[in-house]
C-alpha cells in the first residue's frame, strides 16, 4: 500500500528507482500551466515526505518573494536559514581539484536522504551495467523540491561535468511538465561547495528573463548561440531530438574551460528558440542550457548580499538577510554580478577558441 501525499493529494508508491524513456519527455509546456508529469509527482511527493519527516536542517515554508523593479525582473527571495544552517563549503583551490574521499561526499549521506535513482531504460555501459543518477534531497534547500542529481556517485567524479551529468540534467527538465523546474551546476571556483559531481534541481514558480532572452548564432549546427542579455553567456538550445549533439557540445565547451582553469556556472530551463529579438510567447517546448564563464572565487570570499552562482546569474536571488533583501536594486545586483563575470576581452578570446575547437 502506498503512502498518501498531502502535497499532490495522491497515493505515492514506494519506489527507489524511477525508470523512463524518451516517450516520457513532455513536449508541450506553457507558462502558467499546472499539470504535473510522472516525474513531478515522484519528486514532489518524495520531497514533501522527507520535509514532513524532519530530514532538512530547517523547515522551508513558502519564501517571502519580491520582483525587483526594472527590465530584468530579478526574483528576490529571503532565505535566512540557508545562510545560517548550510554546510560549510570545502576548501577549493582549483577548478581541476581531485576528488578527496576524506572530505564530505554524497556516498556519505544518510540513506533516508535518497529520493530515488533516475535510470533511463535500456541505457547501459559497454560492460552491461546501467547508468544511473541518484536524486537526493538538499538538506539546506533553496526552494521547494530542491534536490541534488548525483550521476554515478560510486565512481567518485570530481565536480567536473561529464556527458552523463549533462544528459541527466537536460532529460530531467524534459521529464517535468512544470516550466518552473530548473537544473543548474556550479564548477569549482564557481561557488560549488562539495567536490563530488552533482547538479542542483528545484522548482521556482516564477518566469525568468533568460527563458526568452534574444541570442545570436555562434555555431548553429552545434546548437550554440551567444546570449545577448545581461549577463551574456553561451546558450545551447534543444527540443529533445538529437540530444547527444547538444550534450557533447556542452561538454566540449566546459572541458575547454576546465583545461584553462576557468570557473563556470550552468543553468538548464525550459525556454523559447533562440532569436535575435525577445520571444514574448508562452511556449516553453524547448530547453535552454546557458553556460557562463566567470572569474574564479577560491577560499571564503562572499558578498554580504549574495554569492554569484547558478541561481543569481539566471535571475533568481536568494538573500541571507532582510536588509539586503528589502533594499537591493537592479543596478545594485548588476554591479555585484559584473565583478564576477569574465571580462569582455577574455570572453571574446574564449569564444574564438571555442569556435575553432568545435
For every residue of 217-229, DSSP letters joined together read EEEGGGTEEEE-S
The helix/strand/coil state of 265 is strand
**Residue 198 is a catalytic residue:** yes
Query: What Rg do the C-alpha atoms of the chain give, in angstroms?
Result: 19
List of E strands, the chain:
3-5, 10-12, 17-20, 64-67, 75-78, 114-124, 130-137, 147-151, 181-186, 199-203, 215-219, 224-227, 234-238, 263-271, 286-294, 316-319
Q: Rounded to the nearest 5 degrees, what angle is found at the Cα of 158, between the Cα atoms of 309 and 172?
A: 65
**Helices 163-175/38-52 angle, 10° precision:** 100
The residue written with cell numbers 557562463 in the block is 292
Report the C-alpha gap between 180 and 173 in whole angstroms: 9
Task: Name the catalytic one among 146, 157, 196, 198.
Answer: 198
Catalytic center residues: 198
Amino acid at each position: 500500500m502506498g503512502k498518501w501525499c498531502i502535497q499532490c493529494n495522491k497515493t505515492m508508491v514506494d519506489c527507489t528507482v524511477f525508470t523512463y524513456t524518451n516517450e516520457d519527455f513532455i513536449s508541450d509546456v506553457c507558462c502558467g500551466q499546472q499539470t504535473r508529469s510522472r516525474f513531478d509527482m515522484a519528486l514532489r511527493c518524495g520531497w514533501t515526505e522527507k520535509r514532513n519527516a524532519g530530514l532538512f536542517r530547517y523547515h522551508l515554508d513558502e519564501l517571502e518573494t519580491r520582483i525587483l523593479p526594472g527590465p530584468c525582473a530579478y526574483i528576490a527571495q529571503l532565505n535566512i536559514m540557508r545562510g545560517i544552517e548550510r554546510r560549510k563549503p570545502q576548501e577549493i583551490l582549483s577548478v581541476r581539484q581531485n576528488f578527496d574521499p576524506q572530505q564530505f561526499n554524497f556516498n556519505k549521506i544518510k540513506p533516508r536522504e535518497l529520493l530515488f535513482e533516475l535510470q533511463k531504460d535500456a541505457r547501459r555501459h559497454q560492460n552491461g551495467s546501467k547508468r544511473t543518477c541518484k536524486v537526493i534531497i538538499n538538506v539546506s534547500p533553496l526552494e521547494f523540491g530542491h534536490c541534488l542529481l548525483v550521476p554515478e556517485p560510486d565512481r567518485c567524479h570530481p565536480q567536473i561535468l561529464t556527458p552523463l551529468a549533462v544528459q541527466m540534467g537536460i532529460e530531467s527538465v524534459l521529464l517535468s511538465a512544470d516550466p518552473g523546474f530548473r537544473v543548474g551546476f556550479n564548477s569549482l571556483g564557481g561557488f560549488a561547495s562539495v567536490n563530488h559531481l552533482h547538479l542542483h534541481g528545484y522548482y521556482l514558480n516564477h518566469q525568468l528573463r533568460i527563458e526568452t532572452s534574444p541570442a545570436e548564432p555562434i555555431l548553429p549546427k552545434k546548437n550554440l548561440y551567444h546570449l545577448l542579455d545581461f549577463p551574456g553567456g553561451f546558450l545551447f538550445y534543444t527540443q529533445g531530438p538529437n540530444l547527444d549533439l547538444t550534450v557533447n557540445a556542452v561538454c566540449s565547451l566546459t572541458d575547454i574551460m576546465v583545461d584553462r582553469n576557468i570557473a563556470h556556472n550552468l543553468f538548464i530551463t525550459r525556454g523559447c528558440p533562440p532569436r535575435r529579438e525577445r520571444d514574448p510567447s508562452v511556449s516553453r517546448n524547448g530547453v535552454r542550457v546557458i553556460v557562463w564563464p566567470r572569474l574564479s572565487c577560491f577560499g571564503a570570499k562572499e558578498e554580504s548580499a549574495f554569492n554569484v552562482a547558478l541561481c543569481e546569474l539566471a535571475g533568481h536571488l536568494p538573500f541571507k538577510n532582510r536588509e539586503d533583501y528589502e533594499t537591493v536594486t537592479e543596478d545594485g545586483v548588476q554591479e555585484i554580478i559584473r565583478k564576477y563575470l569574465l571580462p569582455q576581452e577574455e570572453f571574446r578570446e574564449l569564444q574564438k577558441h571555442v569556435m575553432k575547437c568545435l
